[in-house]
Each structure stands twice: as structure tokens, then as C-alpha cells.
Chain A
Amino acid sequence: MTPRRMTWWLLLFTVGVAGMGALVLAQPGQTEFVPVSQLPAGEQLPAARLLVAAYAFVWIAVLAYVWLMWRKLGKVEREISELSSQMAKRRP
């Protein structure tokens, strides 16, 4: 291969690589791999919200159960007092 032909080949190779590089750079940017700090606010998962939700649920569940027990107790006590008054009326 003569030096002149070699220069032509090198030039062609360089133009090809530059063209491919330009083609890659012209593509739209990769969207899947985004640093977590650059995510839009709507797509970020703030740990504090999850923690508060967990803590709130514990309290809601426990207080709901206590409230149900309180209602059940009130019903039993009411029935006992009604029954006592009915029994008192029936006594001679």
C-alpha cells in the first residue's frame, strides 16, 4: 500500500468514525438511567412520607380497635342496666 493510498484510507476511517460519533450524539438522550437526585418530584419516593404513613396506620388501627371495644362495653353496660330495671319492676 502506497503512502498516498494509506492516507486516503486513514482519512476515510476518520470521517467514518466522526460520522458515527455525530450520529450517536444526534440520538435523543438515554432516559432510563437517571440519578435519583435528578428525578422529578412526582417520581421520587420520599422515605419520610412512608415512615409517617406506617406510624399513622399503627395509631389508626389501635385507636379503632379501642373505640370498637369501648362501643361494645357501652352496649353491654346499657343492656345490664335495662335488664336490672326490668327485673326490679317484676319483683313483687
Chain B
Amino acid sequence: MRKAFLPLVVVLMALYVSALLLIARAPFESTMGLVQKIFYFHFPPAVLMLLSAIFCGLMSAAFLIRKRQAFDRIALAAAELTVLYGSIALVTGPLWARKAWGVWWVWDPRLTMSFLMWMIFVSYLILRKYGGPGSETLSAGLAVFGMANAPFVYLSVNMWRTMHPKTSVVPTLPVDFATPLWVSFAGFLLLYIVLLTARVRIAEQQALLDQLYVDSDL
């Protein structure tokens, strides 16, 4: 963690500065105006939540098959970050929706499935904390189930009628809007990598400590 602290500070500062620049310099969208800029803090965490859920599911599947603790430690870190990024997406979305749709929340397929996915990974963390011995195997199964949900969350806007913008919006954005979005995405991705690395390192030290207790017979 001590080694990861400097990159973490650099990434956080870069994210902070880029966010301020994005707000100040990015063009205003004609119908939504200023509130559209929430999109730059909503889309990257939402996409990273899905990618993180898939990553966590893959690592959990690898743990179930290979029984190596290293996979489990990565899966745990990815689950925590899925919840963190999911929380950001689920809070910033309604802040945008209040202005754009006139309501904070609607139970439409994309929103409901995203909330469901977030709850699956919260359940994963609760199970890890209070599940006792063997909870890592149970939670790994839960993570595989959570991963299976990810494609449905992504495609829900195309499969069902929904108020949420479709998946075709981002690829067709004009350069003026797309550039700040991908800068913001890069910042959130870097932050994800640094936080994941630091969290895995802490889990490794915890495992080392547990092993020391066993070896020392204390």
C-alpha cells in the first residue's frame, strides 16, 4: 500500500484536475445544458462496474476450478470495486435523471438490473465478512452468477423499452463530447487499476499474517 500510495495520489489529482477541466471546457449539450456533464462521471463508473463484475466472476471461476488463493484475493478486490463504482453510477444517474426525466428513479430494465447487480456484489461482501469458514467458495459462486448478469445489464436498453439512453449513444458521440468522456474514462480506469493493486496487496499481507499465526502456534 505504501508503494501504491504515490501512484494513487497522482491518479486522484489527475482525476480531480481533468474533472474540473471537463466541466469548464466541454461544450454544453443543447437540450440538457450543464446537467449533461454529470454523464462524464456516470458513464465511466457504470461501464467499469460491468467490467469489474465480469473480472470478479472470471477470477472466482478460476478460484473454484484451480483452488488458488491468489484468484480469490483478486476476486475480493474486484467485488469491492464493483460495489464502489456501482454506488457512484447509481447515485450520479438519478442526479442526472431528476433534471433530464423529471424523476429521481424509475423501475425500468436498465436501472433495475444495475441495482440488482450492485446488490449481488454487496451480498458477496456481506457473505465474505460474516459467512465464516468456507464463505470464499460460496461467494465465488455468487460472483459467477453476478458476472452472468452483466451482459443483460448492458443489452437491457436495446432488448426492452426503456427511458435510459441506448448503447448506440456513446459510439456516435461527436468528437467534442467524446474526447472529455474518454479522458474521464481513462482516469477512472487508472484509479481502478491502482485501487485493485493496493487492495490485492493488503489481502496478500493479511494472508501472510494468518500464515504467521498458524506457524508461530500463538
Contacts and interface: CB of A to CB of B under 8 A. Distances in A.
Contacts of A73: 1, 202, 205
Contact of A65 (B41, B84, B206): B84
Contacts of B34: 47-48, 51
DSSP majority for the A interface?
helix
A87 B191 CA distance: 38
Binding site secondary structure of chain B = helix
**Residues of A in contact with B, size category:** 20 to 34
Contacts, number: 84
Interface residues of B, number: 38
B218 interface: yes
Interface centre among A48, A65, A77, A86 (most CB of B within 10 A): A65
Contact of A45 (B42, B98, B213): B98
Interface of B: 1, 8, 12, 16, 19, 23, 32-35, 37-38, 41-42, 45, 80, 84, 87-88, 91-92, 95-96, 98-99, 191, 195, 198-199, 202, 205-206, 208-209, 212-213, 216, 218
18 contacts: A47-B32, A47-B35, A51-B37, A51-B38, A54-B41, A57-B88, A57-B92, A58-B92, A59-B16, A61-B91, A62-B191, A69-B1, A69-B195, A76-B209, A77-B205, A80-B205, A80-B208, A83-B213
